[in-house]
């Protein structure tokens, strides 16, 4: 698989059109919907910070169709984009995929994105994992109507890493992501550049999603009704980069694989079928200090992990399968394939993975202002079948007293998923895994505690947790409490924290926290 940088001239030539401002897709769409820039309609501006940014991109969400399975094309929603100003390599496309183009930017660059909503309902874009001002974070209160445009201005402050972007309208995040609206946001910096890690065609994104298709090849969402809302959507077919039965052709040399769980709710336990260990080099927030070897990795919805794989020593023609190993995660009791790696050619390239990858400026729990009394967030379902945090559901602009924090403070937050202990209904609540995401920052995972009732399920996944480094999403298993250490820097305003099981989020397991000066 080769990521493609397509110039405006080449794109117009490929689709046989001679002019007009068109948007680049993750592939040439089967039904191309052109959009002049800017589109007619309301221009909604977040915060304009720059006269002329270093990278300026037009991004639109459209409804179209693409070929996923043999036979009839599948209707999807997708992001299209075009570089208006700046390096053409600021966007890269994944061939033959409905996924949005990859933003490919440098730390320190100033970015402007003109997002135009061409859907039939409200939407907004969240830059997942990025440290940005509240006006650029994609809070659902900023959702725009069909035909409107929202302008984002921000500086890339985050270190090198694999981030992503997706819609975030209230109660519609799950279906909009499911129907195809998602893309990666890859940041590079000087520290990473000095390592000589695999790059170009050997640095590959792998977005894993589960989907359900009907007899006409159309995506089915919410087919189990209330069960999908309670459990989260679980499909019966795994796609990688939008393709079924995915095969990755490789050479006999090292690769950098960026694994992203883009599923709505499915938790993966990923390992090589032949038992080869995985060498993990990065998490949500970028490179680890040193590589870590794991027999398998546990990847919750929204989490990213990067692995270094050396196919030297493999014979041409050999295959290696990445599989989901059995665990106690919902609908994961049996082994099933994720993708096949096919060794297709020899390349005499040998490279040693550095022992030291990065110097991390980690913080100490001892310096937290609330180290003796962490903020606690209880995760549960109430008797009204709503997913809640501390007994509350989402309110668009409201915060409780215990959701107000101070700019500059370092705090300990404790996510508590102990209601019910196991997977059954107990005490009016259902205990399920909750991947907890905090907007606007990266945090450290500093402690896990598991109850005796939850340990048997926890033991099937816990060896795959990579808690080192920086994170924006952490999996909290039934019967578990997890402490994270986070600091509120640079920006004030109303940010979100929520479960990234998207059906749980849409059903209320999302709240605001307010950063005050």
Instruction: Report the alpha-carbon distance of residue 319 to residue 337 in Å, rounded.
Output: 13
Task: Give residue 88's pLDDT.
Answer: 96
Residue 30 has pLDDT above 50, yes or no: no
Task: Give residue 348's pLDDT.
Answer: 87
Task: Give residue 421's pLDDT.
Answer: 35
Longest CA–CA separation in the chain, Å: 67
Helix or strand run (H / E) with residue 174: helix 173-178
Instruction: Please report where in the chains the tokens 């053409």 appear, as a residue.
Output: 88
Nearest to 471 by CA among 343, 299, 331, 344: 299
Task: Give residue 225's pLDDT.
Answer: 67
**Of how many residues is the chain composed?**
517
DSSP for 20-54 reads S---B-SS--SS-----SSPSS-EEES----SS-S
CATH 2.60.40.420 fits 365-516, yes or no: yes
Is the peptide bond preceding residue 515 cis, with omega within 30 degrees of 0? Answer: no
Q: How confident is the model at residue 440 (pLDDT cuts 50, 70, 90)?
A: very high
Q: What is the pLDDT of residues 134-173, one digit of tens each?
A: 999 999 999 999 999 999 999 999 999 999 999 999 999 9
| Average pLDDT value for residue range 41-49 | 62
Task: Give residue 413's pLDDT.
Answer: 98
250 vs 95, 209, 240, 296, 404, CA distance in Å? 16, 22, 16, 21, 50
Instruction: Determine the topology of domain 8-193 in CATH.
Output: Immunoglobulin-like (2.60.40)
Edge-to-edge strand list for the sheet holding 55-66: 43-45, 149-155, 110-117, 55-66, 74-85
Least confident of 207-216, 377-386, 502-511: 377-386
Q: How confident is the model at residue 228 (pLDDT cuts 50, 70, 90)?
A: confident
Query: Which stretch, 30-39, 79-88, 410-419, has highest mean pLDDT?
Result: 79-88
Q: What is the pLDDT of residues 124-139, one digit of tens each?
A: 999 999 999 999 999 9
| Average pLDDT value for residue range 208-225 | 91
Q: What is the pLDDT of residues 51-89, one digit of tens each?
A: 889 999 999 999 999 999 999 999 999 999 999 999 999
Residue 226 has pLDDT above 80, yes or no: no
Q: What is the pLDDT of residues 332-348, one digit of tens each?
A: 999 999 999 999 999 98
Residue 11 has pLDDT above 60, yes or no: no
pTM: 0.91
117 vs 43, 123, 180, 334, 354, CA distance in Å? 11, 7, 14, 40, 44
For CA atoms 372, 373, 377, 379, give the dihedral sign.
positive
Residues 6+ apart with CB under 8 A from 140: 124, 168, 169, 170, 396
Percent of the chain with pLDDT over 90: 83
Mean pLDDT of the residues in the chain: 90
Task: Give residue 50's pLDDT.
Answer: 66
Task: Give residue 47's pLDDT.
Answer: 60
Least confident of 117-121, 228-232, 396-400, 484-488: 228-232
Instruction: Report the alpha-carbon distance of residue 506 to residue 232 in Å, rounded.
Output: 10
| SS3 (DSSP) at 95 | coil
Task: Give residue 49's pLDDT.
Answer: 65
Task: Give residue 46's pLDDT.
Answer: 65
| Architecture category of domain 200-345 in CATH | Sandwich (2.60)
| Beta-carbon-side half-sphere exposure of residue 250 (alpha carbons within 13 Å) | 30
Instruction: Report the alpha-carbon distance of residue 355 to residue 357 in Å, rounded.
Output: 6
Residue 108 has pLDDT above 90, yes or no: yes
Residue 386 has pLDDT above 60, yes or no: yes
Give the distance from CA 399 to its chain's centroid. Answer: 25
Domains 8-193 and 200-345 share a fold: yes
Which is more confident, 351 or 9?
351
Residue 494 has pLDDT above 90, yes or no: yes
Task: Give residue 12's pLDDT.
Answer: 33
- Extents of the domains making up the chain: 8-193, 200-345, 365-516
């Amino acid at each position: 698989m080769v990521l493609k940088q397509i110039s405006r001239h080449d794109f117009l030539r490929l689709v046989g059109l001679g002019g007009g401002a068109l948007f680049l897709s993750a592939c040439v769409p089967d039904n191309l919907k052109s959009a002049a820039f800017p589109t007619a309609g309301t221009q909604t501006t977040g915060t304009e910070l720059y006269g002329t940014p270093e990278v300026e991109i037009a991004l639109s969400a459209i409804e179209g169709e693409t070929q996923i399975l043999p036979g009839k094309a599948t209707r999807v929603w997708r992001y299209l984009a075009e570089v208006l100003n700046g390096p053409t390599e600021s966007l890269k496309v994944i061939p033959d995929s409905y996924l949005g183009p990859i933003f490919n930017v440098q730390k320190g660059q100033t970015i402007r994105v003109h997002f135009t909503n061409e859907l039939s309902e409200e939407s907004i874009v969240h830059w997942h994992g990025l440290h940005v001002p509240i006006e650029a974070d994609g809070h659902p209160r900023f959702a725009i109507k069909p035909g409107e445009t929202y302008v984002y201005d921000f500086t890339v402050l985050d270190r090198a890493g694999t981030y992503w972007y997706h819609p975030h309208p209230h109660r519609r995040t799950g279906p909009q992501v499911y129907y195809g609206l998602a893309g990666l946001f890859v940041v590079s910096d000087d520290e990473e550049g000095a390592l000589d890690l695999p790059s170009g065609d050997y640095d590959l994104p792998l977005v894993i999603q589960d989907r359900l298709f009907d007899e006409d090849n159309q995506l089915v969402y919410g087919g189990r009704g209330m069960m999908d809302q309670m459990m989260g959507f679980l499909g019966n077919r795994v796609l990688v980069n939008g393709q079924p039965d995915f095969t990755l052709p490789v050479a006999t040399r090292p690769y950098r694989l960026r694994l992203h769980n883009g599923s709505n709710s499915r938790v993966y336990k990923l390992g090589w079928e032949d038992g080869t260990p995985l060498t993990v080099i990065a998490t949500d927030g970028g490179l680890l200090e040193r590589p870590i070897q794991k027999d398998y990795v546990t990847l919750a919805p929204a989490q990213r992990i990067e692995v270094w794989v050396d196919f030297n020593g493999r014979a041409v023609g050999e295959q290696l399968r990445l599989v989901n190993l059995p665990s106690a995660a919902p609908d994961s009791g049996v082994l099933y394939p994720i993708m096949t790696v096919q060794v297709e050619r020899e390349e005499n390239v040998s490279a040693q993975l550095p022992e030291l990858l990065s110097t991390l400026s980690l913080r100490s729990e001892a310096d937290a202002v609330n180290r003796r009394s962490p903020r606690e967030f209880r995760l549960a379902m109430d008797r009204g079948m709503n997913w809640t945090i501390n007994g509350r559901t989402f309110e668009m602009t409201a915060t409780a007293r215990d959701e107000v924090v101070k700019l500059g403070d370092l705090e300990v937050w404790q996510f508590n998923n102990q209601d019910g202990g196991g997977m059954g209904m107990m005490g009016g609540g259902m205990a399920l895994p909750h991947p907890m995401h905090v907007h606007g920052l990266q945090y450290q995972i500093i402690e896990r505690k598991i109850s005796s009732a939850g340990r048997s399920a926890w033991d099937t996944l816990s060896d795959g947790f990579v808690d080192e480094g920086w994170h924006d999403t952490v999996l909290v298993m039934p019967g578990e409490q997890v402490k994270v250490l986070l600091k509120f820097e640079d920006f004030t305003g109303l940010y979100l924290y929520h479960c990234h099981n998207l059906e749980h989020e849409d059903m209320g397991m999302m709240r605001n926290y307010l950063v005050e000066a």
